[in-house]
Amino acid sequence: MATETLTAERILAATEDVLRLYGPAKATVVDVARALGVSHGSVYRHFRTKAALREAVTKRWLDRTTAELSRIVADGSRSAEDRLALWNVALFTAKRKKAGADPQLFATYEVLLRENSGVVDEHITELVGQLVRIVQDGVDAGDFTPVEGDVEATARAVFDATIRFHDPVYAAEWSKPGIEAEMDALLALLVNGLKRRP
Amino acid sequence: MATETLTAERILAATEDVLRLYGPAKATVVDVARALGVSHGSVYRHFRTKAALREAVTKRWLDRTTAELSRIVADGSRSAEDRLALWNVALFTAKRKKAGADPQLFATYEVLLRENSGVVDEHITELVGQLVRIVQDGVDAGDFTPVEGDVEATARAVFDATIRFHDPVYAAEWSKPGIEAEMDALLALLVNGLKRRP
């Protein structure tokens, strides 16, 4: 292993494994170096601080969700209305899966959230950007009317309105019975609100 | 003071003052008793535990908001659409004022939230109940169509959609510039979603 080139990608993959094992409080750069069979100095040449490494691994993990969602955004075979609902359900499903199946990485994400990390802000900006594209497509197709004529503000309002289903502070509620029905009612209300009036 | 009858109401008023001064972590039942000029045993005769006292004082504080909002709900001179917007703005204003002007009581409320206290659940049930009345009035007047024909689910969806503007976990965002505009866009989207289609 140590003879392979030590890339940032290899370090991040190992960090993800180490975080899964030990969690954000206990995982150290030495653990990551040991998993890779290199010195911790070699890791620090790629990531200058433990915080930088933690941010990079969370960004990589969040980017996987954004990439998944971008396929829904780009699916021109579906109406904007359908994509809006599918996108929200996919985001909820991804977050819920992460909270359940990846609790240690999820905890890392929560640490970054509390630290007001730029990584989380960028993630949110990207998600709202995807919603802007869906809303704009709906407006272009004559299906949607943006609130106050402002597509950006409308996309942000949709994102804010569904915060209970994607903000990790509500993770404990995501396994409650009836949560899907509550989300469906909310999405139906939002889609109604977006639809152009005849 | 000590010669007046020691009522639950007097104890709660004193507890509110003591919590304002010392906060939920440091305030004790002895502080409350001292403020009233009575023994702590007299306080315990009305509230059996510190937790019970803390719950009762938070309930009283939350009930003041609910009472204020109930006047908007009952105002038959306004349309359901106007009342829905006014109610949400009033709730946001009350929560924001509490977070800013009453930080120690707000911290008590946050402690109860984390403890999943019944007091907070009751408060939320009451708020959703008020929204049910507004939505039902809108339906009766022929202005609103409930999502999936379900007024309760629709009211709950409106409450969920505006969670960023009333859940204390977002208190830090409530003083950000632009927050009112974000709320207005969201309310406009929700009212659009409720409006009956011609």
Supply the DSSP string of chain B, one letter for each residue.
Answer: -TTS---HHHHHHHHHHHHHHHHHHH--HHHHHHHHTS-HHHHHHH-SSHHHHHHHHHHHHHHHHHHHHHHHHT-TTS-HHHHHHHHHHHHHHHHHHHHHH-HHHHHHHHHHHHTT-HHHHHHHHHHHHHHHHHHHHHHHTTSB--GGG-HHHHHHHHHHHTGGGT-GGGGGGTTSTTHHHHHHHHHHHHHHHHBPP-
pLDDT tens digits, residue range A44-55? 999 999 889 988
Tokens of A137: 């497509």
Does the beta-carbon distance from A169 to B164 stay under 8 Å? no
- Pick from B155, B127, B138, B132: which is nearest to B67 by CA? B127
By C-alpha distance, which of A11, A7, A195, A18 is closest to A104?
A18
Chain B nearest CA to A170, separation (Å) = 10
CATH of the domain at A67: 1.10.357.10
Q: What span, in angstroms and rounded, lies between the C-alpha atoms of B31 and B163?
A: 35
Measured distance CA(B184)–CA(B157) in Å, rounded: 17
**Are residues B154 and A189, on separate chains, in Cβ contact within 8 Å?**
yes
pLDDT beyond 60 at B3: no
Whether residues B161 and B68 share a domain: the answer is yes
pLDDT of residue B51: 86
Give yes or no: residues B122 and B179 share one domain: yes
Burial profile A130-142: b = 16 or more Cβ within 10 angstroms, e = fewer:
bbbbbbbbbbeee
| pLDDT tier at B85, thresholds 50, 70, 90 | very high
- Give the model's pLDDT for residue A120: 87
Q: Do B122 and B176 form a contact (C-beta atoms < 8 A)?
A: no
User: Taking CB atoms and an 8 Å limit, are A193 and B189 in contact across chains?
Assistant: yes
Q: Are residues B92 and B146 in the same domain?
A: yes
pLDDT of B2 above 70? no
| B88 burial type by CB count under 10 A (0-12 exposed, 13-18 middle, 19+ buried) | buried
Q: Are residues B123 and B30 in the same domain?
A: no
Number of structural domains in chain B? 2
Residues B129, B32, single domain; the answer is: no
Residue B181 touches chain A, beta carbons under 8 Å? yes
Q: What percent of chain A has pLDDT over 70?
A: 98
Alpha carbon dihedral A60, A61, A66, A72, in 10-degree steps, equals 130
Q: Do residue A9 and residue A98 come from a single domain?
A: no
Average pLDDT (B104-122) is: 81
**Residue B94 belongs to some domain of the structure:** yes
d(CA A1, CA A37): 7
- Across the interface, whether the CB atoms of B182 and A148 are under 8 A apart is answered no
The pLDDT assigned to B131 comes to 98
Quick one: A41 and A57 in the same domain?
A: no
Do residue B40 and residue B71 come from a single domain?
no
pLDDT for B189 = 97
Q: How far apart are CA B108 and CA B111, in angstroms?
A: 5
The reply to whether B81 and B27 lie within a common domain is: no
For residues A7-27, give the mean pLDDT: 91
Domain shared by A79 and A98, yes or no: yes
pLDDT in tens, B127-168: 999 999 999 999 999 999 999 999 999 999 999 999 999 998
pLDDT value at B24 more than 80: yes
CATH number of the domain at A12, please: 1.10.10.60
Q: Are residues A1 and A79 in the same domain?
A: no
Q: What is the pLDDT of residues B39-78, one digit of tens each?
A: 999 999 999 998 899 889 889 988 999 999 999 999 999 9
Residue A3, pLDDT > 70, answer: no
Q: Is A178 exposed, middle or buried (0-12, 13-18, 19+ CB in 10 A)?
A: exposed
Last residue of a domain, one of A32, A48, A64: A48
- Domain residues for the domain of A85 are 50-194
Average pLDDT over residues B34-39: 95
Q: Please tell me whether residues B83 and B115 are part of one structural domain.
A: yes
* Rounded Cα–Cα distance for residues B80 and B87 (Å): 10
pLDDT at residue number B109: 78
As a whole number, the mean pLDDT across chain B is 92
Instruction: Answer whether B160 touches A (CB < 8 Å).
Output: yes
